[in-house]
Structures are given as C-alpha cells and as structure tokens.
Structure 1
C-alpha cells in the first residue's frame, strides 16, 4: 500500500496511477491547471452553448441542454452556471434515490425555487405505463450521436470549479448541508440526498483502506487549503466512520439484522489492511500517509 507523495491518495484505489516520483495523476492534473489557457477553454464552451441554442431553435425545442442533478453543491453550481454564464435554458433530470433525505428533498425543491424545470425519474409507481415513461427513457447511444447530442464535462472548461467554491456558491443560493450532524457519525458533509451512502463509505474504507474523508482531504491538499500534515489529522479522526443511526438505516432498508449486516461486511474486509481487536472492531494495520508493506 503506497501513498501519493503529495496528497493522501493510496494506491488501493482501483485504477489509480502514479508517476515515477510517486505522485498521483490527480495531483499532476491540479498542477497542470496553471498552464491551461482558461480563456480559450471558456470561449470553446461559449461556442458549444451558441450551437446548442441554434440547434434547439431549429428543432423547436424549449430546452437547450439537459443536466443531471441531485440538488447538491456541484449540480447547483452547474445549473446556475449554465443559466447565468452561458445563457442556456436547461432541463434537469433527477433520479430520486431510495430513502431520499429531507435535506436532499429541500435541495431539489430549491432548484425549482431558483426557476429551473426538473423531471424526476420514477420507478414502480402503480398506473404508470411504458408510454408515460417515454420522455424519461435513456436513448440509444448511436441514436444520440446521429442526433448530434453531445456531453460535456464542465470542470474541464470552468476555472472556478472546486469543492469549496461550489459549496459556498450553492449555500449562498439556498442549499442545505449536513451541518447538524457530528462528523464522527458521518465521516464527511457531502452525499446529502441519501443516508445509505454513509454505510457505503464505511464499507469502502474497510475494503480499500480509505473513505470519503480521504477523498475530501486530497481535494483540500491539491487546492491548497490544507497541508499534507494537517490533513493527516482529519483523515485519522474521521475516515470510515459510520454512526449506529446510519447502520440501522442501512439494515432497515435492506431488511436484515445488524448481525447479518456485519457478517456480510466482514467477508469483504481487506484482511491485509485491517485486524480485529479484542472488542471485535476492525482496526487499521497501516498508518495514514505512510507506505505499508502487505505481507
């Protein structure tokens, strides 16, 4: 188990790559931003938006682009950016997660209040026919290409994009976060629309040796908000945590007991990275940020 020499990303992340100096490619990309001609990229994006408007007008479409949204910081930023900076009229698509949280519903409703139109993808509703679902169906990829439909990755074009900016930008426009939760119960503030993801991140931690606290720390290191040493405390304090409340939510959703939940989870724990202590709790064999030889 090796860590990036600049952030705290371990090589246990599937498909992660490091250069010959032991630096992950996410850090290398962040460094490359200084040499990017952001004005040229933004002008390219403006041309894409201009073509989308012209194509929508030619086809008689009301909407000029489609954006998948959860109501969180990133999708709220994209929504307002598309409307106010690119002058587009977007249609939003939201796939409602199982057991959507009150915060998640508030944030979706907030997009409506900001003046956007949203279609919700629904499933298993009595009385809904296949014809009723026509406009909610994902078209064939080849058909999309024939129609000239293209997808873009906004982060490629928008210099402003960052975890913190997107959050501050969106909070100023009405979204709510998990500010009332103890980080020792949830491990991070994100993933607002579903409580099931908290148990998911605990399982990810036990399988790969890192959870979402590591992900957030790496973002902060790359964007200059935390030094690597300061980030170590954050990761050690919060990574992989999941409060009893959220274990119960996951068990109730799955229809299993807590004992059954942990019996299954234990089968997927990476035993090279974790051991069980005398109280039956999984503990890391490794130290965050320090390369660890797996026997």
Structure 2
C-alpha cells in the first residue's frame, strides 16, 4: 500500500476551504474558487441560468442531428448508459424529439444490483436496442482490487470502459456520433477546458477521469506485485479499457458530444422524465446509503465504495455531490445542505460490504488498512487519540 497512483492528490491545497455558495471544497481536484470564495461549479450554474442562450444551443443540437440522422432508419448515434435516469433521458430525447435512431451500449457494472438490472431491462422494453460488454471477469476483479489499493477508487476499471467502449462500438458499426450525458468536470467543479464546447476526445481522459493513471500503468504494477501473470496481459485483454488509436478516431470522423451542453442539465428532472418514459424506478428503500436521495448511481454494488473512498480521500462524499446540484436548482438552501452533509456524508456502505470484500478477495483488516492509509495522506483527516476525525467540516 506504499504506492499511491492517484496523481491528483499531491496537487491539492493543504488548507481545506469550502465554497461560500454550495458545500464542496477546494479538495475537489481541478476545482477553482473565485475571489468571493465561490467555486467554479457554482459560477457555471449561474451562467446556465443567466448567461447561456439555450435557444441557440437548441438550434446547434438540431443542426447536429440533421447532419447525422440516417435516412433509412439505420443506427446513427451511439448512447452509452446503464438504463439509469440520465442515459435513459438522453436516448429517449434523441429518439422521440430529434428523430434519431440510437444504438445504446452498456459497459457492464462489476456486479449488477437488483434495481439496476430491473431498470436496464425496463429501458430496453420501452423500445431501445442495447449491446452490453462484459469484460474478462478475472482480469476485471484484479483491476478493481488494484484500483482500490493503489488509487483509492475501486470504480476506476469501470470508468476506463465506460469512456472507451462506445468508441469501439461506433467504429464497428460505422456510426459517427456518440452522445453522453453531462460534462461532469464543468457541472460539478473540475477542468474548465471544455466549458464552452460540446465535445471532447480521449486526449484528456487520463488527467480528468483516470486520476493520472492509465490501465497500462495499473496492469504493470499488478504484474510487479504478482497479482497478474504475464499471460493475462495482452492487447486483447485490455482492448475495451482503452480507446481506439487516435488515427482511427480521426479517420472515422467520430464525435462524442454531451447533452448537458445543449440542454440545461437537471438530474432531478431527468429522474422524473425517465420514470415517465422508460420505466425507471428509484431505490426501493427510503434512500441510498451515503445520501438523502434514491434515484442516482443505483446500478452497481461497487458504487457505494466509489463515493465512500472520495469521502476518505477528499472529505467529499455522495451527499455533497447531490447537495451541490440541488443548491444550484434552488431545491435546497445552503443551510439545509449543510445539515444533510453532516448527517449522511461518509455513511459506510454496509449493504454490499461483504460482497465487496469477496469480490476483491480481501479481508476486513485489509480493507481498513487501505482506508486508513488514504486518510493518512489526505488533507482532511487527523488521528486524535487513536481515532480518525475530519479536521474541518462545512458549516
């Protein structure tokens, strides 16, 4: 556990400061605070309400769809997603409002939850063809363990494929256009490189989404530590985790666009829309672990540990993420959000803990060794009389 491959952490400010408008802090990688102490995500939320010309963005979207729409009903856009509220919203809008013919693709979760599998099936039943990729399970589990131990995010192998798989499908089916949901870097406070453009390419994935580490680097350490044998490592076994060669992308004319550039992104409204049109149902318990909502990130039994590790490393958990968007939309006041963060952020994801340990092949002691190792190198924790406590909380 001595090696930390999350290259974002050393660049974070040592002093923890919270946004004056929402509940996030400067520990969110790549976030920017202005002179008034307001974060870049809040600035962008203001622009969405008061600056951006959404009618002009709508015309851009119409023109984009007009250029790519097939005349014979063949697939003309790839939409990656899980059957969750956001991807369902994007696919249904493209099909019913813009006359497109989406081919939907799913990079499979590590392990489907019952509700996640139900929602994917419900989505398909409402009229959407879907291709699912399930990578080599043995390789995938080992990558998950390595990412947990060396990067502090067991979810990273899923993110590799989530970003890359749609490109492979688009190439195979000669489809030029791909549509993702939101530009998370801009919406939640991160890189502003693509703030005013509708699309990105794979060039910045490693820095912005993969925490500065490629699947090749992760695999290399896995071989050095004896977790992977050399015969498990081949271009074939890693093919889906990496995008096609840049020349192939360029020659094929592939374009990946965000719906959030063209339409104001409101997760709560996406939930209502998907519930109405694609049979989406929320968690069948009062709320999801670690937050007060029950309609987001429902698909994977590993999801809760992705958010929990974010809380351990940055002091920013699942409740913080949900509160940010609800503050932007006026669904919560900041005082209400602070109370929710104090109550639920960092709640331990107990429901799938036993499964998580079994999936990674670790013990309870090994789990907490990793957790405490990341606490020790973070800027947000201190050990007092043998107990870990946050140095400062949003107030």
TM-score (norm 2): 0.65
User: Within 5 A, what are the aligned runs for 1:31-110?
Assistant: 31-33=46-48, 34-53=50-69, 56-57=70-71, 62-110=74-122
Question: Is 1:197 paired with 2:287?
Answer: no
Superposed displacement of residue 276, structure 1? 4.7
1:201 to 1:282, Cα distance in 2 relative to 1, 3 A? farther
* Structure-1 separation of matches of 2:28 and 2:393: 16
Conserved 8 A contact 2:22-2:324:
yes
Give the direction of change, closer, same or farther, for the CA distance of 1:243–1:69 in structure 2 (3 Å limit): closer
**Does structure 1 residue 170 correspond to structure 2 residue 170?**
no
285, 288, 302: which one aligns with 1:180: 285
Q: Is the 8 A contact 1:67 1:92 kept in 2?
A: yes
Q: Is the 8 A contact 2:290 2:319 kept in 1?
A: no
Check whether the contact 2:320–2:345 (CA below 8 A) recurs between aligned residues: yes
Q: For 1:52 and 1:182, how far apart are their aligned partners in 2?
A: 40
The secondary structure found in structure 2 opposite 1:244 is coil
1:75 Cα deviation (Å)? Answer: 0.4
Q: In the alignment, what sits opposite 1:25?
A: 40
Distance 2:251 2:42 in 1: 37
* Counterpart Cα distance in 1 of 2:103 and 2:52: 30
Equivalent positions of 1:142-153 (< 5 A) are 142-153=247-258
How many residue pairs get aligned? The number is 276
Whose Rg is larger? 1
Partner secondary structure for residue 119 of structure 1: strand
Q: Which of 5, 12, 28 pairs up with 2:27?
A: 12
Alignment partner of 1:222 is 2:328: yes
Q: CA deviation at 1:165?
A: 0.2
Q: How does 1:196-275 map to 2 (within 5 A)?
A: 196-270=302-376, 272-275=379-382
Relative to 1, partners in 2 of residues 1:182 and 1:68: Cα closer, same or farther, differing over 3 Å? closer
Q: Which moved more, 1:168-177 or 1:71-80?
A: 168-177
Q: Counterpart of 2:119 in 1: which secondary structure?
A: helix
Tell me the alpha carbon deviations over residues 29-88 of structure 1, each in whole angstroms, 9 at most, x when there is no partner. 1111222211111011101000001xx44xx78101001111111101001111111110
282 and 172 in structure 1: CA distance in 2 versus 1, 3 angstrom threshold:
farther
Q: Distance in 1 between matches of 2:134 and 2:253?
A: 27
Gaps of 5+ in 2: 1-15, 138-168, 174-239
* Deviation per residue, 1:230-249 (Å, 9 max, x gap): 11111110001124333222
Q: Matched residues in 2 for 1:61 and 1:87: separation?
A: 10
Contact 1:17 1:25 in 2 (8 A): yes
Distance 1:259 1:181, change over 3 A: farther
Change (3 A) 1:198 1:281: farther
Matched, 1:287 2:303: no
Residues 61 and 88 (structure 1 numbering): CA distance in 2 closer, same or farther, change over 3 Å? closer
Compute the displacement of 1:285 (Å). Answer: 2.4
Aligned partners of 2:56, 2:281: CA distance in 1, in Å?
A: 34
TM-score (structure 1 length as normaliser): 0.86
Distance in 2 (alpha carbons) for counterparts of 1:85 and 1:162: 18
Q: 2:133 aligns with which of 117, 121, 134?
A: 121
Partners of 1:45 and 1:26 in 2: how far apart? 23
> Does the CA-based 8 Å contact 1:247-1:258 persist in structure 2?
no
